[in-house]
């Protein structure tokens, strides 16, 4: 269980570091992505972007297989 928590934490840290570069590509701005401001910090929960990227990765894996 602690491994999954560590993996999710590391993934969120990497995503937050890459978010400015990903925002230029449109990640985090799809309908279904939630953005809000907490004490001057913008928090993004990219639900729709995550679903579209995972569908793209699945299709890519199917084509390459």
Distance CA 19, CA 65 (A): 30
Length of the chain: 65
Distance CA 17, CA 60 (A): 25
Question: Whole-model pTM?
Answer: 0.62
Distance CA 33, CA 43 (A): 11
So what's the pLDDT on residue 59? Answer: 93
So what's the pLDDT on residue 42? Answer: 81
So what's the pLDDT on residue 21? Answer: 83
Q: Tokens 């729709």: give the residue.
A: 48
So what's the pLDDT on residue 62? Answer: 92
So what's the pLDDT on residue 63? Answer: 95
Please state whether beta strands 34-38 and 41-45 pair in parallel, antiparallel, or not at all (unpaired): antiparallel
Q: What is the mean pLDDT of each run of 10 residues along the chain (65 residues)?
A: 82 78 79 88 82 87 91
So what's the pLDDT on residue 47? Answer: 83
Domain range for 13 is 2-64
- Indicate the number of domains in the chain: 1
């Amino acid at each position: 269980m602690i491994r999954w928590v560590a993996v999710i934490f590391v993934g969120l840290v990497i995503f937050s570091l890459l978010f400015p570069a990903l925002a230029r590509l449109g990640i985090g701005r799809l309908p279904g992505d939630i953005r809000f401001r907490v004490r001057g910090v913008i928090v993004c929960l990219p639900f729709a972007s995550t679903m579209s990227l995972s569908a793209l990765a699945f299709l890519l894996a199917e084509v390459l297989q």
